[in-house]
Amino acid sequence: MPIELHERLSEFSYGYGVTREVERRLKASGLSAVPFLPNLIQEASVGFDVAFNVQGMPLMIQFKLGQAMRRFKPSPRPRLSQQFWRYRVDTAEPDGQFELLLKAELDGARVFYVAPRFHDWEVYLGHYEQKKILRRSLIVTPKAIRSVLDNNGVPDGEHMVVYDDQRAYLCSTPLQLPAVREADIAEKVRFDLEHRKVSLGEALEEVLTGFERRTEIRRAGERRHQDPDRGAYGIPSDDGRGAALRRSRLARFQASGRSRAEAVALVVGAETWSVGAQLIFVTRQ
């Protein structure tokens, strides 16, 4: 039987540990890192400690807790060690988590899925104390997942990322999935900042604009989910209300006295947080 990681790990604790390690690595590379916190949405004071007019970019981290596995079904089994894990990614959900993250990545954000290569809180605590959580995690990008699907002619849908200590695959038919080294997160962000001369405020504007145009990245000929049960729940993104709610949120933040840049940052942060991802505002020190 698989071990449900949610029963042996806290996503809150794991996400906290990942975020702190990413912050340390960014700061060691000479970058300023300020994580978005949801309390900023309702904070009475105007403004927060982020410089939107200096060179910067948004970094998004999506935490994934899936299952620890002992058997691979159905066959063929890819090249995996006995201890391996898996988590689900739905690339077909309209306005879903994957689509939001992929669009943000294509519009200039750095985006990573991060999943543990362990499945117990005592092990987590040891890695946290030794600052080894990223080293003991799988790191992949939404763009890499899309590329594997495109290059192999695989349609969108519910897919499994299956991985061990060394390798990762996108299934059901196992397809090799490239992973990112933990040290590369800060390196990739620093590379972007050295070669893409835009301010943090401009970068966030691009991401927000992209949220309004997610249909552009849907693959030609693909049918999206047509689940009739979804209609009973009045999901805003299903009936076209998502964009209006986003614009209303932006107007509300600006009406509270915040600048346009602050309001945009809060809207991007709130929407990223709502799908379970951590947004970090990164700037050059």
Beta-carbon count within 10 A of 254 CB: 16
Flag whether the pTM goes above 0.85: yes
CA distances from 202 to 1, 42, 53, 114 (A): 48, 24, 8, 26
Q: Is the pLDDT of residue 233 over 60?
A: no
Q: Whose structure tokens read 């949220």?
A: 211
Residues 6+ away with beta carbon under 8 Å from 186:
22, 25, 26, 28, 29, 31
130 burial (CB, 10 Å; 0-12 / 13-18 / 19+) is: exposed
pLDDT band at 242; cut points 50, 70, 90: confident
| pLDDT averaged over every residue in the chain | 89
Give the residue among 201, 271, 258, 259 at the shortest CA–CA distance from 58. 201
Can you tell me the distance from the alpha carbon of 211 to that of 95, in angstroms, rounded to the nearest whole number? Answer: 9
Dihedral angle of Cα 158, 142, 98, 23, to the nearest 10 degrees? 130
- Mean pLDDT in residue range 13-24: 96
Looking at the chain, how many residues does it have? 285
Q: Is the pLDDT of residue 220 over 70?
A: yes
Summarised one tens digit per residue, pLDDT across range 162-189 is 999 999 999 988 999 999 999 999 999 9
Give the residue among 22, 16, 11 at the shortest CA–CA distance from 119. 11
- Mean pLDDT in residue range 63-85: 83
**pLDDT reported for residue 243:** 85
- Mean pLDDT in residue range 256-274: 93
pLDDT band at 4; cut points 50, 70, 90: confident
Give the residue among 282, 272, 285, 274 at the shortest CA–CA distance from 22. 282
**pLDDT reported for residue 252:** 92
Beta strands in the chain (DSSP E): 3-4, 31-35, 56-63, 67-69, 84-90, 110-116, 137-140, 158-163, 168-171, 175-176, 277-284
- Mean pLDDT in residue range 212-237: 70
**pLDDT reported for residue 227:** 62
pLDDT band at 197; cut points 50, 70, 90: confident
Phi, psi of 140, rounded to the nearest 5 degrees: -135, 165
Can you tell me the distance from the alpha carbon of 241 to that of 221, in angstroms, rounded to the nearest whole number? Answer: 24
**pLDDT reported for residue 78:** 82
Domain ranges of the chain: 3-220+228-284
**pLDDT reported for residue 285:** 75
Q: DSSP letter for 232, please.
A: G
Q: DSSP letter for 77, please.
A: P
**pLDDT reported for residue 46:** 54
- Mean pLDDT in residue range 101-127: 95
pLDDT band at 70; cut points 50, 70, 90: confident
Phi, psi of 23, rounded to the nearest 5 degrees: -55, -45
Can you tell me the distance from the alpha carbon of 56 to that of 34, in angstroms, rounded to the nearest whole number? Answer: 11
- Residues 32, 84 contacting (CB under 8 angstroms): no
Higher per-residue confidence, 108 vs 285: 108
Q: Is the pLDDT of residue 147 over 80?
A: yes
Q: Is the pLDDT of residue 273 over 60?
A: yes
